[in-house]
Amino acid sequence: MNYVLYAVPFFFLLIGIELLADRWRGVRTYRTADAINSLSAGVLSTTSGLLTKAVGVLTYTYAWQHLALFELRADSPWVWLFAFVFYDFCYYWNHRLGHERNVLWAAHSVHHQSEEYNLSTALRQTSTGFLFGWIFYLPMAVAGVPPLVFLTVAALNLLYQFWVHTRHVPKLGWFEWFFISPSNHRVHHAQNAVYMDRNYGGVFILWDRLFGTFQEELDEEPVVFGVTTPLASWNPIWANLQFYSVLWQDAVRAGSWWDRLRIWFMRTGWRPADVALKYPQAKPDLSRFSKFEVPLSGGRTLYAALQFVGYVVGGSYLLGAGDGLPLGAVLLGWGWVAFGLFVIGAWLENRPWALRLELARLAANVPVLWLAGVLGMLPASPSAWLVLGVHGLASVLALVALGRREAALAV
């Protein structure tokens, strides 16, 4: 069972409740462009996962079949409890090394780039974590945890982490001695020096207390969210590539071949001495910290939000039907999602070429629907073409109205 797919409506319901809590308390923990960017990263991650999850599943299954030391039964409640705790232990080390090694941080940094902290941040996930993440869970296969149990406890661990991404829940007393809470996870998302690289557990905070990485949220040190190398973009494609690009640039600039190789696996932030000297990187002054923002009219923002809804629906459909679709159909769906989210990101950044790219996106929907029918992904029925036609016409009319309104305001 795909627990994440069934949880999607509840995710958005809780996001709606959090927005009401913002209004009731007179605070603002959401910005539309930031939330769309976080949710876009989540949609891109789930659709990319349809193409990449085989890496983890196949390696885990192979290790379980050939290397398992014990025969654990999936019908035993104790096996499930053991697996749930064991998974979080492995997750702790995956998460911790994801902060402590350059190439792993390049993947994981996506989750930390938002300068806000709300439930949409929880859905901001990497699309490249599959490259190395599978390695950390092989001990479970060697211990004999069946693949079905492993996949289920992995989903439950991920679902638990959703609710801790909020500023509306205060400290929870004794609960925080054992479990990850909103308070100690806020610490984890901070870029304050006192908070950085702390509180790695997914469900249990016990690992952090045991291995010396626990930090309590301090009243005298308000959390500043984000990363010390700011993304400064609303584009989910660039969000996934940003830190890889930083590492690549430093590797190319390095004079030593050894430095070019080892930079990827050194501690996060390590740079070759010659590169650091020639290309210094200033760390942000948090006392003068300002969030990334691009001026955009309310109409343009609303247009982007409405177009994004289509990718939430499409991504959810792919997540539900992906296992039964041929590879060509999954690739088509992934390409449609990736290109569309890239265009929405450019639109939110108010790029000068964003309108031309948006028109190209709308036009591309026609051959995509046709190919979806050819590949058996969607029935290319008259009703489907009607929906697409109405959507395209409404979008073009909205673009014309936005252009006229902005031209009138400029006079």
pLDDT of residue 242: 97
Could you tell me the two tokens for 166? 């909020």
**How far is Cα 52 from Cα 334, in angstroms, rounded to an integer?**
11
pLDDT digits (tens), the chain, 411 positions: 677 888 999 999 999 999 999 999 999 999 999 999 999 999 999 999 999 998 999 999 999 999 999 999 999 999 999 999 999 999 999 999 999 999 999 999 999 999 999 999 999 999 999 999 999 999 999 999 999 999 999 999 999 999 999 999 999 999 999 999 999 999 999 999 999 999 999 999 999 999 999 999 999 999 999 999 999 999 999 999 999 999 999 999 999 999 999 999 999 999 999 999 999 988 778 878 899 999 999 999 999 999 999 999 999 999 998 888 899 999 999 999 999 999 999 999 999 999 999 999 999 999 999 999 998 888 768 888 999 999 999 999 999 999 999 888 776
The three-state (H, E, C) secondary structure of the chain, written as one string: CCHHHHHHHHHHHHHHHHHHHHHHHCCCCCCHHHHHHHHHHHHHHHHHHHHHHHHHHHHHHHHHHHHCCCCCCCCCHHHHHHHHHHHHHHHHHHHHHHHHEHHHHHHHHHHHCCCCCCHHHHCCCCCCCHHHHHHHHHHHHHHCCCHHHHHHHHHHHHHHCCCCCCCCCCCCHHHHHCECCHHHHHHHCECCCCCCCCCCCCCECHHHHHHCCCCCCCCCCCCCECCCCCCCCCCHHHHHHHHHHHHHHHHHHCCCHHHHHHCCCCECCCCCHHHHHHCCCCCCCHHHCCCCCCCCCHHHHHHHHHHHHHHHHHHHHHHHHHHHCCHHHHHHHHHHHHHHHHHHHHHHCCCCCHHHHHHHHHHHHHHHHHHHHHCCCCCCCHHHHHHHHHHHHHHHHHHHHHHHHHHHHHC
CA quadruple 7, 316, 345, 294: dihedral positive or negative?
negative
CA angle 378, 382, 383 (to 5 degrees): 75
Q: Which of 191, 190, 192, 198 has the alpha carbon at shortest distance from 95?
A: 198
Domain ranges of the chain: 3-211, 298-410
pLDDT of residue 322: 81
Q: Which of 222, 206, 203 has the alpha carbon at shortest distance from 214?
A: 206
Which of left, alpha, beta for 199 (phi over 0: left; psi -120 to 50: alpha)?
Answer: left
